[in-house]
Structure 1
Amino acid sequence: MPLTKQSSTSSRDDILRKKSSRHGMIIKTIVAILAATSITIPVVTFAVAEKFPVVPEEGFAVVKRGSMELVVTQSGEVDSADNDVIISQCEWSTRVISLVPEGTWVEKGDIIAELDSSSIKKRFQDRAVLLVNATARLADAQEDLRIQKLTNESILARAELQQRLSKLQLDGYVEAEHPQKLNQLKASVALAEEELNRGEKQLEFVEDMVRLGYRSQSERDSERINVLKRKQALELAKDKLNVLQDFSYDRNLTRLEAIAVEAERELERVKMAASASILRREITVRSRERSYRIYKDYQDRLEKNIAACTVRASRSGELIYARTSSRSTSRIDEGSSMRYLQPIAKIPDRDRLQVKLRLHESNIRLMRIGLPAIIEIDAAGQGRYQGHISHLSTVPLAGLYPNYHLREYRVTVDVDVDPELARTIAPGMTAKVNIIAEQRQSAIQAPVQSIVEVGGEHLVFVRRGDEVEHRTVEVGISSDNEIEILNGLEEGEEIVLKPRVTCAQRIIALQKQSSGTEEERFWLSMTN
């Protein structure tokens, strides 16, 4: 019975399935042997069997050899390497009243700008009254302190004199007055005893004369009365001596000692009171000095700020005004508001110029001090100038508005021109800087768009007769148009110029092959 078309198709499908099953068993056996023996073999890529669109003749490029440069291009602004920046020294916000025209040549000390100082002057006048009052209060406190010092000296002198006199009185009584008084009383006792002895002898003599009849009875009575008087005088002298020795000396000594001690205490009290009074007045003086200093410093500060409103050139040179803010392109003009330490102008050194760049963090690894650069300044007559990197920042800068998340590094490029030519370049001009990061004298080069990346490898499609095959290459540096080929291509070979357009199907097949398992890649290579 003849086979129909459907039956013949089914037979072919069965044959293909059986063939595929046999191939699968063979592949599994080979994989198992390789895994057991730990043998590695290179992956063999066979030419793709299916038909791909033919690459047109104009779709190829020739691999060439030649010099190559890795250039990093960035725009910046020309500036002087030595700018004498003039900033606002006025601590209060103010406005610009007048300005010298920008570009004017000024000498050191010339007035370049006037700031509005009317509000500061008014405040200076209002505060002057407070300063006068503070000065008067300080003078009063100082005068009171001087008077108190003189008063204390007088009081202290009197207390010291009283203390010294009390001590002298005590010493005089103990060492002179009492011994003198004691000696006088003892002498009086001795004299009274002598007078009594003489009187008693005289009485005996008169009594003897009375018995003999030579004296009268009245004379004897008179002598007896004299003896009694002398006895009383002796008793009185002895009583005075006893009183002095037993009572008066101790009483007077105790009194004088107490007076001396009290004089010492009074001296100490006077000293303490004098010290306390001086301390109070010194504290008052210091307090008023502090108040005076606050008012005086504020007045000096106001006076300094009034003087700072007259802005003068710090050196001779050509005047260039600063921008109103870091985000603005307009420069300071009459009526512009000014804040403390805001740059007003700068006087650049025209003989030393540089360009400051902000490079993205991806390019900073290519930079190093001394790298050459080509500087293009369209506004200058010459156009292109030589330069080199003179400074690299190690700390990243925050990105500019609105890309704050970016990280950029400051790179300074010096312009290498003689002073005469440098004067034709004005600071503030826009410059395009081409930094030559790498140079190759003889490098295999291919167009950048001819390289595709598949499975982490760089591939090119090379003409092989009438066919096109893919090849893995190792790349080096790249420029805007060319890329260095370190390994995988030779000079003169033809490669597909735009493989993503003309070899899209081949790339898709290679991506599928690279993304499958080892068994699938091997099976795909066998079937292809």
Structure 2
Amino acid sequence: MKKKYLIPGIVFVAAILAYALFGGNTEEDIVLTITPERGEFVVDVNTTGELRAKNSTEIRGPQRGRNVRLFNLNIQRMVPEGTVVEKGDFVAELDRSEITGRLQDAQLELSQAQSQVTQVSLDSALTLSQARDNLINLEYALEERQIAVDQSKYESPAVQRQAEIELDKARRQLEQEKKNYQTKVKQAEAQMTDVMADLQEEQNEYNTIRDLVSEFTVNAPANGMVIYKRNRDGTKVQTGSEISAWDPTVALLPDFSVMESVTYVNEVDIQKIKKDQRVNIGLDAIPDKRLSGVVTSVANIGEQRPNSDSKVYEVIIEIAESDSVLRPAMTTSNEIVIDIVKDALYVPLETVHVQDSSSFVFKRNGLSPVMQEVRLGLMNENSVIVERGIDIDDVIYLSLPEDTTGIEKLYLEEEITSRD
């Protein structure tokens, strides 16, 4: 009989204990608290960047394309990115269809210019030959008139006068034709100068295009690893891409001795970033690898990056270490150190609440919470320095107390709150 009531009794007592231990302590009753921390406080901006070589040798295609009205060049084939090449090795082949057509047109224009030179030369030779024959005939005519004058001395004065007039006319005609001949020579020279200039222009055009054709096979200017060039929109120049005649860079040969991380900072944080700030750098591909660097460039003008709704500013960080594992396009985590306070008292940001332009924390005062006004200093992504209002031993609420009705507010002294 005793055993019959013993087991239910044990179960009842166990239920009471379980409720006392677990049932009355719901999630709503849990109050999270912390105590302030004291120590070195780092103010930083964290960004993601991408490695690139600080210095690179450009592998360029035809650089005089604009001279022959070639403005966009298509890449037909290209070595894979990361290919190690030596000076003179093949890198890329550009589409020759347009330049071949230009070369044929230039060759036709050159042939026409050569024909024009030949035609002008023949015409000038014929014209001047006829003019010289005419001069010879006029000289003979002048000689005949002189003979007639000599023979007329036995004739009447009228006949003599007529012979002298004919002689004078022959002499003047000869002189005029000599002047005309000189004019024709100058005209022929001018015509030849014009057609020769046209021929030289067409020859230069042809030579330029012919030389450009050979540049459509792009070779490495030095030893190194081929890295595809990135356009401003982030896309890579590769097989099928077009390059501009204003910037015919096909690829790059980076110098791995000095690397830099290119990152973008939002417009909220960019005012904090300055040249020469120290940066702690991590590599996503090698988590255990830690590097250091320094900010070397901060853009003055913001830009809209793909897949971003806000303006960002380019920041360049030079890596202090030289390491064989570093390669372009590796992703980096950059911690840009803005300021360091050696001995600071700080709390998590979520413990600070703002009312009427004043900052408060909830701290434990005896068994109940109070609202304590605080004076804040520098902050980072997680914490904020508290300059006045709390001590290292205070217990601070991470979340709002369950009931804040009628809670006591403790204000800082007037001389503290009025300070700049």
* Structure-1-length-normalised TM-score: 0.57
Partner of 1:357: 263
Corresponding position: 1:451 with 2:352: yes
User: Partner residue of 1:130?
Assistant: 109
Choose from 367, 380, 386 the match for 2:273. Answer: 367
What residue is the counterpart of 1:77 in the other structure? 50
1:93 aligned partner, one-letter code: L
Matched AA of 2:360:
L
* 1:455-487 deviation digits (Å, cap 9, x = unpaired): 222222233333433233332221222111233
The structural deviation recorded for 1:117 is: 2.1
The percent of aligned pairs where both chains have the same amino acid is: 20
Q: Distance in 1 between matches of 2:114 and 2:108?
A: 10
Deviation at 1:326, TM superposition (A): 3.2
Letter in 2 for 1:493: D
Aligned residues of 1:390 and 1:413 also touching (Cα < 8 A) = yes
Q: Which amino acid aligns with 2:52?
A: D
CA shift, 1:369, in A, is 1.6
- Distance of aligned partners of 1:311 and 1:297 in 2 relative to their CA distance in 1, 3 Å threshold: same
Structure 2: distance between partners of 1:349 and 1:446:
45
Query: Residues 132-171 of structure 1: CA distance to partner in whole angstroms, max 9, x if unpaired?
Result: 1212213433565677789889999999x9xxx9xxx9xx
Report the Cα distance in structure 2 between the residues aligned to 1:149 and 1:506, rounded to whole angstroms: 121
CA contact (8 A) 1:155 1:270 kept: no
Q: What one-letter code is carried by the residue in structure 1 that aligns with 2:55?
A: D
Residues 83-162 of structure 1 aligned to structure 2 (within 5 Å): 83-89=56-62, 91=70, 92-97=72-77, 99-141=78-120
Higher helix share: 1
Label 1:312 to 1:460 Cα distance change in 2 as closer, same or farther (>3 A). same
1:316 alignment partner AA: N
Matches within 5 A, 1:474-485: 474-485=375-386
Displacement of 1:75: 0.9
CA distance in 2, matches of 1:505, 1:152: 123
Offset of residue 373 of structure 1: 0.8
**Partners of 1:270 and 1:487 in 2: CA distance:** 112
**Structure 1 residue 124 displacement after superposition:** 2.4
Q: Give the match for residue 190 of structure 2.
A: 282
| Deviation, structure 1 residue 281 | 6.0
Q: Which amino acid aligns with 1:354?
A: E
- Structure 2 counterpart SS, 1:137: helix
Query: Is the Cα contact below 8 Å between 1:64 and 1:492 reproduced in 2?
Result: no
The residue that corresponds to 1:410 in the other structure is: 314
Residues 397/140 of structure 1: CA separation in 2 closer, same or farther (3 Å cut): farther
Task: Letter of the 2:76 partner, please give it.
Answer: V
Matched, 1:65 2:44: no
- Please show how residues 195-344 of structure 1 align to structure 2 within 5 Å: 263=172, 271=179, 274-275=182-183, 278-279=186-187, 282=190, 285-286=193-194, 289-290=197-198, 292-293=199-200, 295-322=202-229, 326-328=233-235, 332-333=238-239, 336-340=240-244, 341=247, 343-344=249-250
One-letter code of the match for 1:450? T
Distance 2:251 2:40 in 1: 46
TM-score by length of 2: 0.70
d(CA) in 2 for partners of 1:268, 1:472: 115
Kept in 1: contact 2:280–2:292 (CA 8 A): yes
* CA displacement 1:353-408 (0-9 Å, x = unmatched): 111111122222211221111111132475211111122222x132113446x332
1:157-206, Cα deviation, whole Å (9 max, x unpaired):
999x9xxx9xxx9xxxxxxxxxxxxxxxxxxxxxxxxxxxxxxxxxxxxx
| Cross-structure match for 1:487 | 388
Query: Which of 330, 349, 352 does residue 429 from structure 1 map onto?
Result: 330
**Match of 1:369, SS?**
coil
Aligned residues of 2:264 and 2:312 also touching (Cα < 8 A)? yes
Following the alignment from structure 1 to structure 2, what is the Cα–Cα distance between the partners of residues 301 and 130?
14
CA distance in 1, matches of 2:136, 2:29: 125
Structure-2 residue corresponding to 1:399: 304
Partner of 2:373: 472
Letter in 1 for 2:190: E
Deviation at 1:63, TM superposition (A): 2.1
- Name stretches of at least 5 consecutive residues in structure 2 with no aligned partner: 1-27, 147-156, 410-420
Distance 2:369 2:394 in 1: 12
73-82 or 101-110, larger mean C-alpha shift: 101-110
More strand by share: 2
**CA 1:154–1:472: 2 relative to 1, 3 Å:** farther
Answer with 424-433 or 376-385: which moved more.
376-385
Shift of 1:82: 0.6
Q: Which ranges of structure 1 fall in alignment gaps of 5 or more residues? A: 1-54, 170-243, 245-250, 511-528
Per-residue Cα deviation, 1:420-473 (whole angstroms, up to 9, x for no partner):
xx2211111111111111111011201101112222222222333334332333
State the distance in 1 between where 2:177 and 2:268 align: 84
| 2:73/2:94 contact within 8 Å kept | no
Q: Map of 1:184-195 to 2, 5 A cutoff?
A: none
Given that 2:274 and 2:298 are in contact with CA atoms closer than 8 Å, whether structure 1 keeps it comes out as yes
How far apart, in 1, do the equivalents of 2:404 and 2:112 lie? 93
State the AA in 2 paired with 1:71: D
**Contact conserved, 2:361 with 2:371, CA < 8 A, in 1?**
yes
Q: CA RMSD of the aligned region, Å?
A: 4.3
Match of 1:187 in 2: none
Cα deviations by residue, 1:77-106 (Å, 9 ceiling, x for unpaired): 110011112233264533423x33433322
